[in-house]
Amino acid sequence: MLGWLTTTDHKRIGLLYFWTTLVLFAVGGIEALIMRTQLAQPNEHVVGPSTYDELFTMHGVTMIFFFIIPMTTGAFGNYLIPLMIGARDMAFPRLNALSYWVFLASGVFLYTSLALGAAPNAGWFDYVPLASRRFDPGHNIDFYCLGVIFNSISSTLTAGLFIVTMLKSRAPGMSLKRMPLFCYAMIAAAFGLLFALPSLSADAIFLFLDRNVGTHFFDVAHGGSALLWQHLFWFFGHPEVYILIVPAFGIATSIIPAFTQRKLVAFPLVAIAELLVVYIGFGVWAHHMFATGMPTITLVFFAAGTSMVVIPSTIQVFAWCMTFITGSARFETPLLFIAGFIFMFVTGGLTGIMFLAVPFDQQVTDTYFVIAHFHYIIFGAAVFPIFGGMYYWFPKVTGKLYFELPGQISFWTIFLGTNLLFFPMHILGLHGMTRREYTYPSGLGWGPYNLAETVGGFITAAGILLLLGNLVWSYLRGAPAGPDPWHGPTLEWTTSSPPPEYNYAVIPKVTSAYANWDVADREEDRRKLAEGVLVLEQGHEQVESAPVDGELAEVVEMPHDSPWPPLLALSLALVFTCLVIQKFTVAALVSTLCVLTLLGWHSTEPQER
Amino acid sequence: MPALAGCGGRTQSSLAPESHAAKDIASLFWWMMGGAWIGLGLVVALLLWSWQRRKRRGFGRDSGGVKPGERVGWLVVVGAGIVVPIVLLATLFVISDVFVIKTTEAPAANATRLTVHVVGHEWWWEVRYPGKGVVTANELHIPARTPVRLEVTTADVIHSFWVPQLNRTIDAIPGKTNAIELYAEAPGRYRGQCDEFCGLQHAHMAFSVDAEPPAVFRRWLAAQARPAAAPASAAAQSGERAFLDGACSTCHTIRGTSAHGYVGPDLTHLASRTTLAALAIPNTRRTLADWITDSQAVKPGNQMPDFRLTGKRLQALLAYLEGLR
């Protein structure tokens, strides 16, 4: 137990992330089901308007900040990046632990608000002046501001850590062009987070100051601007969409080669596309604001940006499809989820393209058409690969094989459920139903579509329960998997399942992006292990290599387990608690605790050799 | 509590357009949807084809470095993934963002015979006819087949004015006045709704646009410009006193009396309106009584307090309000 608390092992931290985000996913899902129950028929009274507002706000905040980002980066990225690049651990293991504990603390912090009946209630994009003290006098929005800032500390740490790890800790020989596509996706997401989050944090800090100190950043009556909030928010918010789905692309590009036994078609183009989608994603934010009365030239500029961001996605879609066709696809559960993902992503992408037509965007903005679009993207394109990835790497993490038949049933249930849940939303939006209505009148023809969606929601939930049940049962009763049940392409399949604490006994030799398929290199690893060359098993060391060509640069000593990361996260939680109850002096005093923790942290630096 | 029915029109569909702008947007959508089905069909066909070919080769044969069909793969990725999308996107961009975009724009103030000014409030719509001395709420009237300049702003938070059958949405933003065209090809009642989340009763912030033949509209405008009708009966007179002496007049205006409140809607011609509470309920004697005595049950969180009036005073007040034609 204490071992998990003080761990700095990337695999254990990845699993901690996994379990925590899974719990938050369940909570966000229950919030969604309550909303769907409320909307099943016109004029329902399952919940009142104030509860409903908290539900949809918490659902959005939870799924985006507390499920998908930490699941793809924190859980999948943490567990897999060092394995895929042949490293012993992340570049800064204690920072990695800190990132997790800060994430956990921020999640607990945010959900305290729900327990206190003061959960954020102005939507996940929290527009001012609705979120100002005048129109939202409780602590609800203070929890939002501080929760988002708290959470983004964790994401920023993860982003920096990922970038350094992937640029510096790759096994010697793994030049950038031999890096697996999964890592390209992760590095794109990490750069996205690093550049997008400051905008969100600044926004949240401004709002917190407006609400608590009397500044006027967003107060029109005193020369502030209500639209400033929207610009800063969406400058973060749109790249965020790509940050959500690019890691899922990474999962897809890991599963596809394994289950078609073919290297991905047009590898260099796909790698560039993964980076480009995030880069262009920074130039389209104002398409969330087409109805705010911006000048036509601004509308047209951002519409053009929106059309450009399509190209990297079409490149990837056709590269995936052509790999399916030219390889020999084996449609087992992980690949089914990826095929489903392609279907969902293309559907959501095609409705996304429609938003570059400014007048159409202005016609359906803030309606269920938009809800349909982004759930096809966020559930279909981000969560489907997460499910596929759970099945794909299950044997690696647990050492057991999952059961195939219930796996396939879980896929079809989730696939049918989500389409029944989200497709009618397109029609509802076109028929005029706006988002965030806690109820709707009869007589406008919206009832049957809503009922179908609610049924779809519960079918989806049943599918997810089946998936999780299957994995639990497989863990208890599954057959042993061995190190490489899929003949997978990347390095993680060369080590045992589950991998030992040190990952690789010898530093693996890498001469391509599909290291596990390079038979000669793997022979050489085995020979080195037998001869005792480049063996790192005994020590606590990691190889550092040159960022571009991956030449061996130095060997560094890694830190051991440390109690300081969870302690620092705890001190931060105390500071944020003081801030939310507006005890600013106490917060300043408590923040000295953070400094003391940092002093303790740095008193135990690993010794230079 | 009265069941809330869809007052003010049987549809709110952007696919049942009744103006040139909404028609352009709807046909833009139908074309895009056609293209989208073709695109989705293509991808599904590719996936099904790979499923059909799945047993063509033994699994695990070509992982040693051979990449079968790489040339064809590159061709498809570059052709279908780069070249074709660029052509299609550029076409869509030019059609929608150079041409169709213009049809939704507001006519210049000096080029139109009528400007309507709308102010969003939590949770109702104030409607003003500048220069005509008319103020009403939630039920806009416009002449049919006449381009009207609609100006939108807000008294509190951000709202969005949206009548999908007539035009796209436009936000009401503090410190800013936005404008679009409002035009209806045929007389009729068109339903609209606030399209930006604005707090507890966002769901009940609907409105209607009544497009009328120009002569009918002119009569309506003239009637609305008159001050309130004097109470006709003894009961109505006592109702007026109750209104002016009580809390009502601190929030509501009735032109021609001493009531000048600005928190709630102008009630000068309340009885000429067919709905109450931003279309949440129809305007009848019973629903009006419900609204006065128990508005928090009809529309929880709205800014009107419940007035627990006794039978006689309530009847007097209702008699007065029903006379405000």
Within 199-238 of A, beta carbons closer than 8 Å to B belong to: 220, 225-227
Q: What is the pLDDT of residue A116?
A: 94
Cβ separation of B77 and A269 shorter than 8 Å? yes
Q: What is the pLDDT of residue B6?
A: 47
* DSSP-assigned beta bridge partners for residue A557: A541
User: What confidence category does residue A604 fall into, taking pLDDT thresholds of 50, 70 and 90?
Assistant: confident
Q: Which backbone phi and psi does B190 adopt, to 5 degrees? A: -115, 130
Q: Cis omega before residue A498 (within 30°)?
A: yes
The whole-angstrom distance between B172's CA and the closest CA on chain A is: 8
B82 part of contact set with chain A, CB < 8 Å: yes
Q: Under the phi-then-psi rule, with left for phi > 0, alpha for psi from -120 to 50, and beta for the rest, what region is A341?
A: alpha
Size of the A and B interface in Cβ pairs below 8 Å: 303
Q: Which of A329, A342, A358 minimises the CB distance to B96? A: A358
CA dihedral A299, A301, A303, A306 (to 10 degrees): -140
User: What confidence category does residue B1 fall into, taking pLDDT thresholds of 50, 70 and 90?
Assistant: very low
Q: Are residues A606 and A557 in contact, defined by beta-carbon separation less than 8 angstroms?
A: yes
Q: How many CA atoms lie within 13 A of A279 on its CB side?
A: 9
Q: What is the pLDDT of residue A205?
A: 97
The whole-angstrom distance between B275's CA and the closest CA on chain A is: 14
Rounded CA-CA distance A52/A37 in Å is 11
Within 232-291 of B, beta carbons closer than 8 Å to A belong to: none
Taking residue B30's Cβ as centre, other Cβ atoms within 10 Å add up to: 10
* Confidence check: pLDDT of B55 > 90: no
Average pLDDT over chain A reads: 94
Q: What is the pLDDT of residue A548?
A: 84
Q: Give helix B70-78 / helix A310-326 axis angle, nearest 10°.
A: 160
B307 part of contact set with chain A, CB < 8 Å: no
Q: What is the pLDDT of residue A538?
A: 60
* Confidence check: pLDDT of B65 > 70: no
B139-143 and B206-212 beta bridge pairing: parallel
Q: Specify the range with the lowest mean pLDDT, choosing from A125-129, A348-352, A537-541, B15-19.
A: A537-541
Q: What is the pLDDT of residue B31?
A: 97
The pLDDT tens digits of the residues spanning B227-245 come to 999 998 999 999 999 999 9
User: What confidence category does residue B3 fall into, taking pLDDT thresholds of 50, 70 and 90?
Assistant: very low
Cβ separation of A360 and B32 shorter than 8 Å? yes
The pLDDT tens digits of the residues spanning B67-94 come to 788 899 999 999 999 999 999 999 999 9
Rounded CA-CA distance A186/A53 in Å is 33
Q: Which of A291, A357, A364 minimises the CB distance to B160? A: A291
* Confidence check: pLDDT of B2 > 90: no
The pLDDT tens digits of the residues spanning A427-441 come to 999 999 999 999 999
Q: Which of A122, A300, A517 minimises the CB distance to B97? A: A300
What is the arithmetic mean of pLDDT over A162-189? 95
Within 108-147 of B, beta carbons closer than 8 Å to A belong to: 122
Exposed/middle/buried for residue A6 (C-beta within 10 Å: 0-12, 13-18, 19+):
middle
Cβ separation of B12 and A310 shorter than 8 Å? no
Q: What is the pLDDT of residue A549?
A: 85
* Confidence check: pLDDT of B66 > 70: no
User: What confidence category does residue B204 fall into, taking pLDDT thresholds of 50, 70 and 90?
Assistant: very high
Q: Specify the range with the lowest mean pLDDT, choosing from A205-209, A273-277, B8-12.
A: B8-12
Rounded CA-CA distance A228/A204 in Å is 12
Q: Tell me which range, A442-446, A449-453, A599-603, is most confidently predicted by mean pLDDT.
A: A449-453
Q: What is the pLDDT of residue A542?
A: 83
* Confidence check: pLDDT of B102 > 50: yes
The pLDDT tens digits of the residues spanning A92-145 come to 999 999 999 999 999 999 999 999 999 999 999 999 999 999 999 999 999 999
Task: Tell me A70's DSSP state.
Answer: I
The pLDDT tens digits of the residues spanning A308-318 come to 999 999 999 99
Rounded CA-CA distance A420/A37 in Å is 15
Q: How many CA atoms lie within 13 A of A375 on its CB side?
A: 25
Rounded CA-CA distance B113/B158 in Å is 28
Q: What is the pLDDT of residue A3?
A: 86
Q: Which of A266, A293, A443 minimises the CB distance to B10? A: A443
Sign of the dihedral defined by the CA atoms of residues A466, A63, A27, A455, in that order: negative
Name the residue among A82, A71, A72 with its Cα closest to residue A11.
Answer: A82
The pLDDT tens digits of the residues spanning A192-244 come to 999 999 999 999 999 999 999 999 999 999 999 999 999 999 999 999 999 99
Higher pLDDT, B57 or A478: A478
A43 part of contact set with chain B, CB < 8 Å: yes
Q: What is the pLDDT of residue B5?
A: 47
Q: Are residues A201 and A195 in contact, defined by beta-carbon separation less than 8 angstroms?
A: no
A347 part of contact set with chain B, CB < 8 Å: yes
Cβ separation of B73 and A342 shorter than 8 Å? no
Q: What is the pLDDT of residue B56?
A: 63
Average pLDDT over chain B reads: 92
Q: Determine the residue of chain B that is closest to A326 in CA distance.
A: B69
Q: Which of A323, A328, A359 minimises the CB distance to B54? A: A328
Q: Are residues A144 and A136 in contact, defined by beta-carbon separation less than 8 angstroms?
A: no
Within 147-176 of B, beta carbons closer than 8 Å to A belong to: 156-158, 160, 162, 164, 168-171, 173-176
The pLDDT tens digits of the residues spanning A21-57 come to 999 999 999 999 999 999 999 999 999 999 999 999 9
Cβ separation of B4 and A434 shorter than 8 Å? no
* Confidence check: pLDDT of A535 > 90: no
Q: What is the pLDDT of residue B111?
A: 84
Rounded CA-CA distance A433/A278 in Å is 31
* Confidence check: pLDDT of A393 > 60: yes
Q: Under the phi-then-psi rule, with left for phi > 0, alpha for psi from -120 to 50, and beta for the rest, what region is A481?
A: alpha
Does ipTM exceed 0.90?
A: yes
Q: Determine the residue of chain A that is closest to B193 in CA distance.
A: A434
For an interface test with A, the pick among B202, B276, B279, B299 (most A C-beta atoms closer than 10 Å) comes out as: B202
User: What confidence category does residue A554 fall into, taking pLDDT thresholds of 50, 70 and 90?
Assistant: confident
Q: Which of B6, B61, B158 minimises the CB distance to A127? A: B158
A298 part of contact set with chain B, CB < 8 Å: no
Q: Which of A50, A347, A443 minimises the CB distance to B200? A: A50
Q: What is the pLDDT of residue B21?
A: 95
User: What confidence category does residue A408 fall into, taking pLDDT thresholds of 50, 70 and 90?
Assistant: very high
Q: Cis omega before residue A129 (within 30°)?
A: yes
The whole-angstrom distance between B127's CA and the closest CA on chain A is: 20
Q: What is the pLDDT of residue A539?
A: 62
* Confidence check: pLDDT of A608 > 60: no
* Confidence check: pLDDT of A602 > 90: no
Q: Cis omega before residue A101 (within 30°)?
A: no
Q: Under the phi-then-psi rule, with left for phi > 0, alpha for psi from -120 to 50, and beta for the rest, what region is B172?
A: beta
Percentage of chain A exceeding pLDDT 70: 98
The whole-angstrom distance between A335's CA and the closest CA on chain B is: 11
For residue B94, list chain A residues with Cβ-Cβ distance below 8 A.
none
Cβ separation of A49 and B301 shorter than 8 Å? yes
Q: What is the pLDDT of residue A553?
A: 82
* Confidence check: pLDDT of B61 > 70: no
Q: Specify the range with the lowest mean pLDDT, choosing from A453-467, A543-557, B108-122.
A: A543-557
* Confidence check: pLDDT of A86 > 50: yes
The pLDDT tens digits of the residues spanning B119-162 come to 999 999 999 999 999 999 999 999 999 999 999 999 999 999 99
For residue B78, list chain A residues with Cβ-Cβ distance below 8 A.
266, 269
